[in-house]
């Protein structure tokens, strides 16, 4: 059995945060012991509120940041140090798609010059052929040659994102980390870009780590889904199971907040308050101040991410108690 494409094992990333002018530096755990696995040809969706550590997890997965604890394995081998030669060469195998395609493109270079850049960097193809290769790539994501001659600000948002995808695919990577790739796009364009990503995945057998706060997008692309809250994974499982029948109250609230066509079948759960400050993490389960099912135990004891009887993982006392109760009853 071969090693999974990408594996993070208990990765933790802390940032120092200073309060006030002379305050002491407070350690903020943006990502706290996250373990994820991305398989070849499969998509792992990562959901959570803003500030939950999704993007940091994505950056850690690519080795753009070094984890403070835990490790990242790519095809079973440890990630080399950021910006080392081995790390740079490894970029050909893993690529990223950004939330803001305009920011990710150089405003002073034509699209085609930027799409051919990976060929130049990794020395792929003959120098004379590279431009033709870049145009072929652009065509494969649905951009015409004359659009390739334009500058980023002369294209629409969807076209820019296609250009970014074309650049990311230039080296035929095995892993693609998509950090909110469609949240800056119109809904009609979103569908096009997502379909493009799904098609590409089927064609090339890419592993995708798809980060989004938008559940309907996640539902469309993901095989598995992991839900993050305050730097930790609170629930992970097969996409259909998790989104149709959430076990963790936080997932439940997220699912109920997503608009559904027709009549609402389950009541909408509106969470009270803001996500807590990661520098002052609540005791016990971090979600308990906003949880409708919280008990005394949740305030004291932090729940572990454990497998449920139906195969998914959840970190919730209430969900596990219910599952045990049902098992005992049957």
Give the residues lining the site for another protein (CB under 8 A): 62, 64, 83, 88-92, 95-96, 98, 100, 103-109, 117-118, 121-122, 164, 167
Residue nearer to another protein on the CB measure, 98 or 229: 98
Closest CA to 5 of 41, 59, 57, 58: 41
Min dist. Cβ of residue 109 to another protein (A)? 8
Give the Cα separation of 249 and 251 in Å (integer): 5
Shortest Å distance, C-beta 320 to another protein: 39
CA dihedral 211, 322, 257, 286 (to 10 degrees): -60
Distance in Å, CB of 88 to another protein, minimum: 4
Nearer to another protein, 14 or 92 (CB): 92
Rounded to the nearest whole angstrom, what is the least distance from the CB of residue 96 to another protein in the complex? Answer: 5
Whole-angstrom distance, CA of residue 38 vs CA of residue 208: 7
Per DSSP, the three-state class of 281 is coil
Sign of CA dihedral 105, 108, 109, 111: positive
Nearer to another protein among residue 48 and residue 118 (C-beta) = 118
Nearer to another protein, 122 or 297 (CB): 122
138 versus 316: smaller Cβ distance to another protein? 138
Nearer residue to another protein within complex by CB, 123 or 267 = 123
Collapsing DSSP to helix, strand or coil, 284 comes out as: coil
**Token digits of residue 153:** 């600000």
Order of strands, edge to edge, in the sheet holding 313-314? 94-97, 175-179, 207-212, 43-47, 224-229, 232-238, 313-314, 306-307
Q: Provide, rounded to whole angstroms, the least separation between the CB of residue 124 and another protein.
A: 11
CB of 244 to another protein, least distance (A): 35
* Encoded tokens for 289: 């101040």
Residue 135 Cβ vs another protein, minimum distance, rounded to whole Å = 18
Question: Please, what's the b/e burial string for 288-324 (b: 16 or more CB within 10 A of its CB; e: otherwise)?
Answer: bbbbebbeeebeeeebebeebeeebbbbbbbbbeebe
CB closer to another protein, 91 vs 223: 91
């Amino acid at each position: 059995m071969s090693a999974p494409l990408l594996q993070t094992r208990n990765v933790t990333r802390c940032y120092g945060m200073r309060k006030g002018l002379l305050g002491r530096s407070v350690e903020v755990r943006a990502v706290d012991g996250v373990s994820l696995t991305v398989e070849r040809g499969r998509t792992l969706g990562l959901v959570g509120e803003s500030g939950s550590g999704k993007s940091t997890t994505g950056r850690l997965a690519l080795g753009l940041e070094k984890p403070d604890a835990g490790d990242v394995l790519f095809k079973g081998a440890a990630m080399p140090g950021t910006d080392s030669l081995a790390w740079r060469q490894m970029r050909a195998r893993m690529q990223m798609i950004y939330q803001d395609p305009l920011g990710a493109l150089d405003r002073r270079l034509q699209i085609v010059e930027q799409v051919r850049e990976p060929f130049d960097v990794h020395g792929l193809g003959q120098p004379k052929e590279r431009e033709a290769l870049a145009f072929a790539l652009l065509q494969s994501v649905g951009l015409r040659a004359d659009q390739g001659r334009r500058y980023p600000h002369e294209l629409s948002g969807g076209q820019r994102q296609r250009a970014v995808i074309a650049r990311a695919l230039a080296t035929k990577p095995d892993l693609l980390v998509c950090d909110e790739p469609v949240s800056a796009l119109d809904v009609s364009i979103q569908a096009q870009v997502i379909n493009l990503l799904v098609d590409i995945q089927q064609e090339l057998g890419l592993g995708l780590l798809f980060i989004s706060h938008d559940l309907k997008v996640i539902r469309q692309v993901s095989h598995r889904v992991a839900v993050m809250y305050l730097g930790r994974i609170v629930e992970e499982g097969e996409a259909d199971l998790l989104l149709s029948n959430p076990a963790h109250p936080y997932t439940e609230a997220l699912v109920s907040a997503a608009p559904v066509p027709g009549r609402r079948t389950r009541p909408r759960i509106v969470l009270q308050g803001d996500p807590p400050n990661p520098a002052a993490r609540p005791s016990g389960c971090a979600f308990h101040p906003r949880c409708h099912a919280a008990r005394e135990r949740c305030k004291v004891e932090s729940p572990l991410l454990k497998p449920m009887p139906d195969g998914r993982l959840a970190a919730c006392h209430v969900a596990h108690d219910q599952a045990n109760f049902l098992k005992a009853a049957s």
